[in-house]
Every structure is written in structure tokens, then in C-alpha cells.
Amino acid sequence: MGRGTVLVESPSVERRCRALEAKTRLDLATVDDAIAAIRHPAQLRDRLGDAVLYAQRVEAEVAQLPIDLALPHDPDSYLGRFLRVWTPDESGHGDAQARLLAFLGLPVPVASTDDWLAAHLAWLLSTASTRTYDVVLMTYLTVGAMNEKLAMTAYQVMASVAAGIGEHELAEVLFDPMRRDESLHLGYYRTHARELGKVLRPWQRWLVRTLIVRTYAPVGARRAAHKPSLGRTLLALEDNPDDPAIASLTQAIAEDVIGRAGRPLPPFVREAMAACVAAARTTTDAEATPGPAPAAA
């Protein structure tokens, strides 16, 4: 079995793992209480319904990703320790938002993971040699950091929107804790990627960079059928969805981890998100068919 460069002693990655292991998980009972106390359900659904539909599906899907297959690892390695926290976090975020969708009269989207073929291809590479394992791991860590930046920023905006319409409790017990979780996930991904990047050979970094730039799709928007969902989310949350701020923030993660000084990467994140916005504007298909809005509590 091919295993790559294992960071046995990295103080910076160790600190990230310990921070994750010390945090508390999202309290679903408290979330239920906040949902029951919602006073402006129609406004909430109008402003955040599309964003919650997208975010809930993504959280449910990524929790099912076959990472153990794609990247065989020691359960007590940094990656193994991270996944023991990350997987329940993602499942919990999905469960909490599914409860919010039900309250708002929105059917929970069907989570569908189409990464099994990619996972098997990644397994073939990761088991072929230590060098190819490192390429797969670096790609996973970089894209993971980008995904977490997108999620963290979205939850921050969603918390502000919820508070702005008077749903302060929901912002404080659902969106803010999810944002904090994603921030800790991001810290692990980015730190581990930086440390691994220090020992990669130039051809490995080139291959990682090429794979990401040429194949990138925002999380939950790889399938053509799912692009409008993210597009509607950007239309709901961004001041300028044609040049979303979240694209620049996500691109900055890639520049930091796999970029080269004085040679910026092409604007591949903005282009990918612009395609999602365009898809949202040209389709009437919704992520889910809305039911009747619930009455205010």
C-alpha cells in the first residue's frame, strides 16, 4: 500500500487537531428550541431558503465522501484524527438544517454523492507510490480548505441575514456555531497543506495546481443539475453575484497554498461560480418544491 509523507511531528498541525478535538459539537436540542421560536418564518424562507437548501444538501453529501478509500491512512494520524471530528460535524450541520427546512415547509434535498469513481481513481494513485499519495493528499487538503472557506463565509452572511430580520437566536445557536466549526476545519486543512507543501517536489506541486485549476467546481456544484442551486445561493447572499466576494476569498486560499510568487493563478474560482449564477438565471428548476409557509410562532 502506497503511503505518502506522514507528518509525524508538526507542532502547527498538532495544534489544529487539538483545537478540533477540544471543541463542542453543534447542540441539536438547542437548535430545535431556536427553530421553534422563529417569529418570521416567511421572511426567513424568502431570504435564506435557497441558501439553506444548498448548504443542507452539501453538508449531507460531504459527510458521505469515501475519504478512507481515496486516502488510506492510520486512524491516529493527523488525517485520521481530523476525520473523527469532521465527519460528525458535517452530519450534524446537515441534520440541523434539515430540521430548519422542515419548519420552513421546504422538502429536504436528496443527498447524492457522485465521487465514487473519483475515489477509486484516487485510491489507485494513492496506493501506487508515496509520491502519488502526496499528490492526492495535497489536492484533497487544498480543495478541502477552499470548500471550508466557502462554507464559513456563507454561514457568516446567513447569520447576519437571520439577525437582520430579528431571528437572533437562530443566528447565535445555528449559523454562528456552524461558521466556527468550518473555521476550525479550514485551519486544519490549510495548515496541513502548507506543511505538506514544504516537502513536495516541483513536479508534484505542478500536478496538484494543474488538477485543481482545470477540474475545480464549487462544493455541491459539480453536477450540471446542481449548479443552479449554488447560483441561487450567491444571488441571495452576494451584493454582486456576478463578481462574488466569496469567489475572491476562496481563490485566495488556493493562491496561499498552491500559488507561486509573482505568478497568480487564473481566476478559476470566479469563473466556476459565475457559471453557477448563469445557470440559476436560465433555469426555473428549483432544488426543492416549496410547501406552504408556516405561520409565525
Three cell numbers, residue 147: 470548500
Q: What is the pTM of this model?
A: 0.91
How would you class 22 by CB atoms within 10 Å of its CB: exposed for 0-12, middle for 13-18, buried for 19 or more?
A: exposed
211: closest CA among 275, 268, 250? 268
| Structure letter (DSSP) for residue 171 | I
Sketch the domain layout of the chain as residue ranges.
Answer: 12-281
Q: List per-block mean pLDDT (blocks of 10 residues) for the chain, which spans 297 residues.
A: 58 97 97 98 97 97 87 94 97 98 94 62 73 94 97 98 98 98 98 96 96 95 93 96 95 96 94 97 65 48
CATH class of the region 12-281: mainly alpha
CA angle 146, 257, 8 (to 5 degrees): 100
What's the grid cell of residue 257?
497554498
C-alpha cell at 220: 455541491
217 close to 150: Cβ distance less than 8 angstroms:
no
Q: Give the span between the Cα atoms of 98 and 107, in whole angstroms.
A: 8
Q: Are 86 and 271 in contact (CB under 8 A)?
A: no
Rounded to a whole number of angstroms, the distance between the first and last alpha carbons of the chain is 57
